[in-house]
Amino acid sequence: MSAPAPKPRAGVLDIDAYVPGESQVPGGVKPIKLSSNETPLGPSPKAVAAFTAAGAALERYPDGQATALRQAIARRFGLNPDRIVCGAGSDELISLLAHAYLGPGDEGLFTEHGFLLYRIVVLAAGATPVVAPETNLKADVDAILARVTARTKVVFLANPNNPTGTYLSIDEVRRLRAGLPADVLLVLDAAYAEYVRRNDYEAGLELVATSENTVMTRTFSKIFGLAGLRIGWAYCPAAVADALNRIRGPFNLGAPSIAAGAAAMDDWAHIEAAVRHNDEWLPWLTAEIERLGLKVTPSVANFILVHFPTEPGRDAAACDAFLKGRGIILRRVMGYGLPGALRLTIGTGAENRAVVDALAAFVGARA
């Protein structure tokens, strides 16, 4: 009889592994890949140059404090660098927050169509995931507060939310914070903050600066075009930053990532160009797709959620297969509880036109 095998902690085998957006289509052709919310403008040339220069000293360990990157972020936003923690994407920081503040018997709360990682990190910490329903695909502060119990320790809020593209105003976020117990950590995941052009939106910097129980996370994977380097940052109360720095890996960012991230943060002209591109094509794509008779959830990010009829042959699955046959990859969002929709990232002008033409062909062929 064989000896018992090691078993993972409770909750780990309840996790459905995260499945990234697809990147290949049959036939080996280069696809139009609009499945991962990547920027069509690519990274700043200054970031690429810094990355290349850092390759001259790969035998050296990186700065374990990511000092140059934290200082660049602090300069840009007027922050205290001591309260900035950097990680391998905001994903790592969200995972570290769950590891630091959740355990068996605790609850981690998030919304119905929130980022899939939240459920994963809550279960990985041995805690219990709790889901608050949304209203019209938007986070509902009252629904979140109604599900808070004595066991709630962390609330995760993606703002704007992926994959819906909806957001909460800063007044609603403040109302959420005020309604939560003081010992509940509110994590504001602002991965798409740079794209938002609404006067009533604020990513969370002010709330973090004026409270001891709120954290904001950001990423370099979206508008900065550095998804391949895995760079994220969190702005935290001093005590939270101290906790994260105690449990993160001592060299969790490589030297090329630190150098490229700092250079990207200092090249704000590149970011402004990406915002202008999104400002042009987000409304254009929305209007063109709605003209085809398809519903689009209003978005403030760099993607839109397109809804399809439920009839076989006209549904999201059929459209996904049709588009892949034309070399176009969008994102299925069944894991988010949205089987009737596809998420479409804003691409280049040529890519956006190609998607609209393909959708028109799909709709017309099945009318």
Q: What is the pLDDT of residue 11?
A: 74
Per-residue pLDDT reduced to its tens digit, 142-193: 999 999 999 999 999 999 999 999 999 999 999 999 999 999 999 999 999 9
Confidence grade of residue 4 (pLDDT, cut at 50, 70, 90): confident
More confident residue, 189 or 366: 189
Phi, psi of 164, rounded to the nearest 5 degrees: -80, -30
Task: Check if the beta carbon of residue 260 is closer than 8 Å to that of residue 48.
Answer: yes
Q: What is the pLDDT of residue 7?
A: 76
- Is residue 90 exposed (0-12), middle (13-18) or buried (19+ Cβ within 10 Å)? buried
Per-residue pLDDT reduced to its tens digit, 29-42: 678 999 999 999 99
Count of residues making up the chain: 367
pTM of the model: 0.93
Helix axes 89-101, 117-124, angle to 10 degrees: 40
Distance of CA 319 to the CA centre of its chain: 25
CA pair distance 365, 128, nearest whole angstrom: 46
Q: Could you tell me whether strands 214-219 and 232-235 are parallel, antiparallel, or unpaired per DSSP bridges?
A: antiparallel
CA pair distance 22, 33, nearest whole angstrom: 8
Q: Is the pLDDT of residue 26 over 90?
A: no
In one-letter notation, the amino acid at residue 78 is: G
Work out the number of other CB atoms within 10 angstroms of the CB of residue 143.
15
Q: What is the pLDDT of residue 12?
A: 79
Q: Is the pLDDT of residue 17 over 80?
A: no
Task: Check if the beta carbon of residue 91 is closer than 8 Å to that of residue 229.
Answer: no
CA pair distance 8, 358, nearest whole angstrom: 46
Q: Is the pLDDT of residue 9 over 80?
A: no
CA pair distance 169, 18, nearest whole angstrom: 29
Work out the number of other CB atoms within 10 angstroms of the CB of residue 183.
10
Q: Could you tell me whether strands 341-345 and 331-332 are parallel, antiparallel, or unpaired per DSSP bridges?
A: antiparallel
Residue-range domain boundaries for the chain:
12-42+269-365, 45-267
Q: What is the pLDDT of residue 364?
A: 87
Q: How far apart are the first and last CA of the chain?
A: 63
Phi, psi of 292, rounded to the nearest 5 degrees: -80, -5
Considering the four listed CATH numbers 3.40.190.10, 3.90.1150.10, 3.40.50.300, 3.30.413.10, the one that applies to the domain covering 12-42+269-365 is 3.90.1150.10
CA pair distance 367, 361, nearest whole angstrom: 10
Q: What is the pLDDT of residue 162?
A: 97
Distance of CA 179 to the CA centre of its chain: 25
Structure tokens at 240: 């939270």
Phi-psi region of 220 (alpha: psi -120 to 50; beta: other; left: phi over 0): alpha
Q: Is the pLDDT of residue 24 over 70?
A: no
Q: Is the pLDDT of residue 367 over 60?
A: no
Per-residue pLDDT reduced to its tens digit, 317-355: 999 999 999 999 999 999 999 999 999 999 999 999 999
Q: So what's the architecture of 45-267 in CATH?
A: 3-Layer(aba) Sandwich (3.40)
